[in-house]
Amino acid sequence: MSDTPVTPRQFPSVPASEMVKGFLGDLARPFNQYAVGSATAVAIVIGATKITDAIGGAVYIGAVGTIVLGLFGLKSLENIKTGGQTASVEVAKVNAGTTT
């Protein structure tokens, strides 16, 4: 027997279906990003093998570069916006006197 006191939980336990739903939700976004990234990489390599002249290659590199920079730029904007919202919530919590 342990000497550590056991305190009852304050919140009701989470049903198994909710735990499974949360687990699958946590996996869905990274899996989607890996799948799209892999498919894009394969498409870029296949497209590059079809080019036979320098002008086509330059246009292809320009198009791929624009798409990649656009995606990274949009992701950066998403991160900035999310970070700003999180900071606003934390400031509001501090001003309200709640930290949890």
What's the pLDDT tens digit per position in 73-99? 988 998 898 888 888 888 888 888 765
Is the confidence at residue 21, as pLDDT, over 80?
Answer: yes
- Same domain? For 69 and 59 the reply is yes
Is the confidence at residue 23, as pLDDT, over 70?
Answer: yes
CA–CA dist 60, 43 (Å, integer): 12
- Same domain? For 77 and 59 the reply is yes
pTM: 0.48
Is the confidence at residue 1, as pLDDT, over 80?
Answer: no
Crossing angle for the helix pair 54-96 and 16-49, nearest 10 degrees?
160
Residue 75 domain-assigned (yes or no): yes
Q: How far apart are the first and last CA of the chain?
A: 34
**Domain containing 39: what range?**
15-50
